[in-house]
């Protein structure tokens, strides 16, 4: 897997994952919406830690900076 998630994108994903988790576990959001946010937060956290997003690969997006030789 070639990394396709840049640093800014990774930070934003981690922040969103933490916010979704806090909203759910604090009881602010519950039910189906809460579970969907927990799942999205988990996906965001995993893709951020790995540095690869399968949806970006399908669409052809890459937020990693290109290295110049």
Residues 12-66 pLDDT 10s: 999 999 999 999 999 999 999 999 999 999 999 999 999 999 999 999 999 988 7
Could you tell me the pTM of the whole model? 0.85
Residue scoring higher pLDDT (67 or 11): 11
**Dist. CA 9–CA 37, nearest whole Å:** 18
- Going from the C-alpha of 49 to that of each of 6, 25, 33, the distances in angstroms are 11, 22, 24
Q: Domain residue spans in the chain?
A: 7-59
Query: What's the pLDDT score for residue 1?
Result: 79
Give pLDDT, residue 44: 96
Counting Cα atoms < 13 Å in the Cβ hemisphere of 44 gives: 19
Q: Quick one: pLDDT at residue 68?
A: 60
According to DSSP, residue 9 is labeled: H
Q: What is the pLDDT of residue 2?
A: 87
Residues whose CB falls within 8 Å of the CB of residue 53, separated by 6 or more in sequence, listed in order: 4, 5, 47, 61
């Amino acid at each position: 897997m070639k990394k396709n998630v840049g640093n800014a994108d990774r930070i934003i994903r981690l922040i969103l994952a933490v916010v979704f988790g806090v909203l759910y576990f604090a009881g602010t959001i519950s039910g189906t919406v809460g579970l969907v946010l927990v799942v999205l937060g988990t996906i965001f956290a995993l893709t951020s830690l790995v540095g690869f997003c399968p949806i970006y690969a399908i669409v052809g997006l890459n937020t990693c900076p290109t290295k110049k030789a």
